[in-house]
Structures are given as C-alpha cells and as structure tokens.
Amino acid sequence: MSGTLRLFCVLLALLGTSACTTSPPRDVNNICAIFQEKDDWYDYAEEAQDEWGSPIPVMMAIMYQESRFKADARPPRGTLLGFIPWVRPSSAYGYSQAKTTTWDEYQDDAGRFGADRDDFGDAIDFIGWYNAQSRRRSGLSLHNTYGLYLAYHEGHGGYNRATYLQKPWLMSVARKVEAQSNSYQAQLAGCEEKLKSGSGFFDWF
C-alpha cells in the first residue's frame, strides 16, 4: 500500500469507515485464482519468500488457516453470563492473526516499523519471518508445514516443550494446514510462470 493511500485509509478510519479494507479472495482454495484476483499479492509473497526462505504455499496455507485472508479478522468475543458480549481472548488481528507483542518483536527485528497487520504485504512478510524464527529457534525445516504451524500456534517455547501433544485438535488442524500447503504447491506449479511474467488478466484464458 502506498504512503498516500495508507494516509487516506488512516483518515477514513478516524471517520469510522472501513472502505480501505481489502475483501478476501473469492476462491480461497485456489492459489492461482487468489493471485489472479489480487494482482499484487504474488509479488508480496515472492518478496517474503526471497527474504526469509519460506515457500509461498506454506505461508499462504498458514494465512488461510488463520484468517481465510480477511484483513480485519479477530478472535470472536467471549460472553459474560452466556449472552453479554465480553472481551476477546487475545490481541490477535489481521491476515496473520499476529498478537500485538509478537508483531512488535517482528517490527523491531525486521526493521519494518510501519508494518500493519491488516496489510497483506506486511502480514505475509511476518509469516515468513516467523517461520525463519522457527527454523532458528526450534530447528524446523522451512518445508515442514506441519511443524511450522504447530510452532506458529504454540510459540517457540511451547513447541519446544511439545505442548501440542496435549492438544489432539491442534495436531489435526496442523495436518489440514499441511494438506492445504500441498494443494497450493501443486496449483502454483501450473501458474507460477505466468505470475512471474506478469501476464495480464486476459492472458489467463
């Protein structure tokens, strides 16, 4: 997002409107369709891959699981007495569902002080950065989607203590993320050449 557009969106936010929030892709299960519809997303994803070494399908599968590509996604509020809307369970927000403290760490470590959680380019870079941290702190391969998602969810300390072993539901979700990554990888193999060449909309037909 350009500086001018970002400033415009900030002004709109102060006025209480969300006109600058990007809508999710129409077909979130097809990575080629995603990048065809959101024509700058592939470039951002490729930049994150080049910077951190995390494959595009892995990062996109994690984002799919976390937010379904919804820019302003938040955890649902709890309820008080079963019906009164209450506080949210965490500060997770945006495409990557990064918590505030982890996002602050990312900004400091990566030097991306103007990064926003509801900006796709910043969020995909965050996921790439986090996966790189998982390799460094937990010894995970950047191609191990299953392990990377467990570390993403549990944090590196939790992953290293194997807290996920007490959460069968989480291991099941991590397998779904792994399967989504494999699906995205197969799809991307068939369209990445066009994406790299910057083919226009009508070149896809």
pLDDT less than 70: residues of the chain: 1-21, 74-90, 199-205
Contact 63, 84 (CB under 8 A): no
Give the amino acid at 33: A
Q: Which pLDDT score is estimated for 24? A: 94
Q: Which pLDDT score is estimated for 87? A: 39
- Segment 80-114, tens digit of pLDDT: 445 454 333 457 999 999 999 999 999 999 999 99
Which stretches does DSSP call E strand in 73-155?
79-80, 84-85
Backbone angles phi, psi at 45, to 5 degrees: -65, -40
Which stretches does DSSP call E strand in 99-205?
none
Taking alpha carbons only, the member of 31, 50, 30 closest to residue 142 is 50
The whole-angstrom separation of Cα 200 and Cα 82 is 51
Q: Which residues pair with 93 in a beta bridge?
A: 98
The whole-angstrom separation of Cα 44 and Cα 141 is 22
Q: How many CA atoms lie within 13 A of 151 on its CB side?
A: 24
Contact 175, 146 (CB under 8 A): yes
What distances in angstroms separate CA 153 from CA 67, 107, 136, one per listed residue? Answer: 13, 19, 16
Q: Which domains does the chain have, with CATH numbers?
A: 25-204 (1.10.530.10)
pTM here is 0.83
